[in-house]
Amino acid sequence: MPELPEVETMCRGLHPIVGKKIQSVSTPPCDYRPIQIRPSIAKIDEQLRGSVVTEVSRIGKRVVIHANQFALILQPKMTGLVALDEPPDPEHVRLQVTFNGRPKQLVQFWDRRGLGTVEMLRADQLQARIIDGKLGPDALQITPADFVQRLKATGRPIKVALLDQKIVAGIGNLYASEMLHLAGINPRKAASKLSNQKLTELHTQMLLVLNLAILHEGSTLSDGTYRNALNNPGNFQNMHLVYDRAGEDCLTCHQAKIRRIVQAQRSTFFCPRCQK
DNA sequence: CATATGTCCTGAGAGC
DNA sequence: TGCTCTCAGGACATAT
């Protein structure tokens, strides 16, 4: 599940295409229901063909390829990824961007479940269409004070609040559990009832776990879908303290077992002893 | 406005 | 072994 560290890793892996000229943008034949692409692939190809990639950036959990004053926005959602090399399998390639030059370079948007989307906007529309009203400050950029203030403003359980991209952008189900464990916070606690000190600690641990995960190129889970741009798995899955470890010993206190609960229809993992 | 729920999709794994 | 069922969850649409 691509969250901030996985999407950041994808973006960094795409760096070799910066400065390259786009030869074409196309959708290869695919046996599955087509993903959402807007405007049409023909219009996207028309605008981007022949233009040079100036930047690859990340907005929350989206990958943005900039070229010709346009932004091509790839949203992996659950099982999508962006690959420079071969994707996990050839069956679920949803979009291809080919570049001029030898050897010919190719960026492929691959998505097994097809929940991902592709959107092209004028670069000057990015703020209004993607960020305003939809995304809070990025998890790697938000100040501790802003982080605390935004979480204090909701009575929802802290775990649920962390998943709300309007509060802070980039956190997903896996890292939400991990950072709450590191900060010693019970995921069911109302965000508004946490002390400033606890929330500040959470901010610290959030940065720690996200940056550490980026360093290890993200987490490749048992479904094996997430890979970095060169089709190698991440390494951070081996360092999870709570995620998907229900019934196993807590690696922090060694005196309790990790529990799984469901919040907002999503799994949450925590140690009942460390996170009271 | 804030919050809650339903929906999309495919494949892995469980259970019989 | 092969079938059916459940589950995984990001983001958006719709409901409360």
Amino acid A95 CA to nucleotide B1 C1' distance, rounded Å:
38
* Strand B within 7 A of A160 CB: yes
Per-residue confidence (pLDDT) for residue A66, from 0 to 100: 97
CA separation for the pair A50, A260 (Å, rounded)? 51
Give the position of tokens 């090399």.
A85
The catalytically annotated residue of A129, A266, A272, A273 is A266
The region of weakest confidence among A44-53, A65-74, A91-100, A223-232 is A223-232
Computed over every residue of chain A, the mean pLDDT equals 93
Q: Which residues, by CB, come closer than 7 Å to strand C?
A: A 1-3, 60-62, 75, 77-78, 113, 115, 134, 163, 165, 172-174, 262, 265-267
A29 is catalytic: no
Asked if residue A32 has pLDDT above 90, the reply is no
CA separation for the pair A109, A106 (Å, rounded)? 10
CA separation for the pair A122, A180 (Å, rounded)? 38
Per-residue confidence (pLDDT) for residue A23, from 0 to 100: 96
Amino acid A267 CA to nucleotide B14 C1' distance, rounded Å:
18
Chain A residues 101-120 with Cβ under 7 Å of strand B are 112-115
Name the percent of chain A lying above pLDDT 90: 82
Per-residue confidence (pLDDT) for residue A145, from 0 to 100: 97
Asked if residue A68 has pLDDT above 90, the reply is no
**Strand partners for A270:** A259
Contacts for A117 with CB less than 8 Å, ≥ 6 apart? A35, A36, A37, A38, A75, A77
Q: Which residue is nearest to nucleotide C12 (CA to C1')?
A: A134
Residue A5 contacts residue A218 (beta carbons within 8 Å) = yes
User: For A234, which DSSP code?
Assistant: -
Per-residue confidence (pLDDT) for residue A226, from 0 to 100: 84
Rounded average pLDDT over A124-132 = 93
Asked if residue A232 has pLDDT above 90, the reply is no
Per-residue confidence (pLDDT) for residue A250, from 0 to 100: 95
A55 is catalytic: no
Asked if residue A50 has pLDDT above 80, the reply is yes
- Quick one: which H or E segment has residue A267? strand A266-270
Residue A95 contacts residue A65 (beta carbons within 8 Å) = no
List all nucleotides in chain C with at least one atom under 7 A from a protein Cβ. Answer: 7-12
Per-residue confidence (pLDDT) for residue A102, from 0 to 100: 75
Asked if residue A224 has pLDDT above 80, the reply is no
Per-residue confidence (pLDDT) for residue A231, from 0 to 100: 83
- This prediction's pTM: 0.95
**Strand partners for A178:** none
Amino acid A108 CA to nucleotide C5 C1' distance, rounded Å:
33
Q: What are phi and psi for residue A160, nearest 5 degrees? A: -65, -40
Read off the pLDDT band of A31 (50, 70, 90). Answer: confident
Residue A162 contacts residue A168 (beta carbons within 8 Å) = yes
Per-residue confidence (pLDDT) for residue A88, from 0 to 100: 87
β strands within A27-178, DSSP E: 36-38, 53-59, 62-67, 70-75, 80-83, 93-99, 106-111, 117-122
Per-residue confidence (pLDDT) for residue A236, from 0 to 100: 87
Q: Name the amino acid, one letter, at A103.
A: P
User: For A193, which DSSP code?
Assistant: G
Give first-to-last CA distance, chain A, whole Å. Answer: 27
Rg for chain A, CA atoms, rounded = 20
List all nucleotides in chain B with at least one atom under 7 A from a protein Cβ. Answer: 2-13
**Strand partners for A25:** A97
Q: Which nucleotide is nearest to A156 (CA to C1')?
A: B3
Model confidence pLDDT, tens digit, residues A133-176: 899 999 999 999 999 999 999 999 999 999 999 999 999 999 99
Residue A80 contacts residue A109 (beta carbons within 8 Å) = yes
> CB A140: neighbour CB atoms within 10 A?
17
Chain A residues 222-251 with Cβ under 7 Å of strand B are 222-223
Model confidence pLDDT, tens digit, residues A240-273: 999 999 999 999 999 999 999 999 989 999 999 9
